[in-house]
Structure 1
Amino acid sequence: MSKPTLLCEIVASVQAKRERRKEARPSELLAAALELFVEKGFAGTRAEEIAKRAGVSKGTLFLYFGSKDELFKAVVRENISGRFPEWHAKLDSFEGSTAELVQLFMRQWWSDVGATPISAICKLMMSEASNFPELASFYQQEVITPASVLVTRILERGIARKEVKPINMKYGVYTMLAPMLFLATWRHSFGTCCEPSEQLDPEEYIATISETVLFGLSR
């Protein structure tokens, strides 16, 4: 192989690696941001810390995300709100009973969100929402409202099948949402420091809560 050909191949290889690295940067920044939001909260996290953890400059961070607020929104869309189409598709194709459906969705939420680092964002928003009303409004639109729509569909399906009694839907959705939010909040608060004997077992918790919810909703 001639030297010019070898040099061209080396240059092409370096350029390809740089392109792959460039394509990976947004996901690396999102991962670093999530880690720091979990560790320090939104207010306590600085943009330069996120850039440093992702191995880039602060200027590079702002090439991809215009502000720390935009980065936070991207983290939420990537890990939570982007999952709603998949969850609705599962609901559309499900053929079992309401009892099976409630248990499925509680376990699915725990697997996709609750048992992952992103669940700390639920706790973060509850503690910092009043200080960042614009982000609170975003979270309401991207997470809380879509979650309410999804749960409403589950309950309305149960009512139509005469497996669930008619309820005040505005507040009825929280019979399913509130227990799961509590479990996520516990995981990132008391769950980090309480004795092993006092820890909540997610599987047992979901089994008990789903049974309790269903008993309250059943006709």
Structure 2
Amino acid sequence: MDTLSPTPRPHRPSARRKEARPGELLEAALALFVEKGFAATRVEEVAARAGVSKGTLFLYFPSKEELFKAVVRENASRHLHDAFLEVAEYAGTSAELLHEFIRRWWTQYGGTPAAGLTKLIMSEAANFPDLAQYYQDEVVQPSHELVRRIVQRGIDRGELREVDLTLAAHLIVAPLVQLVTWRFSLAPCCPATLMPDPLALLDMHADMVVRGLRQE
């Protein structure tokens, strides 16, 4: 009697490794939040884009708000945590460190899809103050604190002159915010020639900041 070989089972999305799902959900959520905004994004859409059910999404993230917070942590907060460690261990000059911080900001955040979170928060903060405060606590304030530490390091080492650290942080960070605001608002509908090369722009920004902060 002929024996029948078993029929192969079709591959199903649910057969994927469980540990892969949170990352896929966060990637899908980031794309939709940036594309549609927080209010217009439905959790069903996020689950569908990630290839899982809505119930599976809620196993990892109990609400859309918690999903958004996880997206912020994954795409911004963790980079800042690493940056604080690198500043503490940096062996070069403070001018070099400031250049490195500004360039790294672009490669790890400003030039990535995650930078769309900045525009999202600016446009929807009034309607979602709790999420805006979370972003302020997780991203804005740590970013400013990181810049203050870099400038203070330069002052302590006699490389930079005494300045108001709070004002310096605002002045250094403001062009970075403007760059991503342009990228996700006007750039898509304006001629590419109006937008300079981002890294060239940031290098000039860092150079002008350092020249303004150096001891006379």
TM-score, normalised with respect to structure 1: 0.89
Q: For 2:166, give the aligned amino acid.
A: K
1:123 maps to 2:89 = no
List aligned pairs for 1:20-31, cutoff 5 A. 20-31=16-27
Indicate conservation of the 8 Å contact 2:106/2:199, yes or no: no
1:41 matched to which residue of 2? 37
User: What is the Cα deviation at residue 55 of structure 1?
Assistant: 1.3
- Whole-angstrom CA distance in 2 between matches of 1:40 and 1:213: 35
1:188 maps to 2:184 = yes
1:103 maps to 2:91 = no
Q: Structure 2 unaligned segments of length 5 or more: list them.
A: none
- Whole-angstrom CA distance in 2 between matches of 1:123 and 1:160: 35
Higher helix share: 1
2:207 matched to which residue of 1? 211
List aligned pairs for 1:24-173, cutoff 5 A. 24-173=20-169
Q: Structure 1 unaligned segments of length 5 or more: list them.
A: none
TM-score, normalised with respect to structure 2: 0.90
2:194 matched to which residue of 1? 198
Aligned pairs, number? 209
User: What is the Cα deviation at residue 184 of structure 1?
Assistant: 1.4
- Whole-angstrom CA distance in 2 between matches of 1:215 and 1:127: 34
- Whole-angstrom CA distance in 2 between matches of 1:46 and 1:126: 20
**Which deviations, in whole Å up to 9, do the C-alpha atoms of 1:164-204 show, x marking residues without a partner?**
22112222211221111111111111122211211221111
Indicate conservation of the 8 Å contact 1:191/1:200, yes or no: no
- Regions of 4+ moved over 3 Å: none
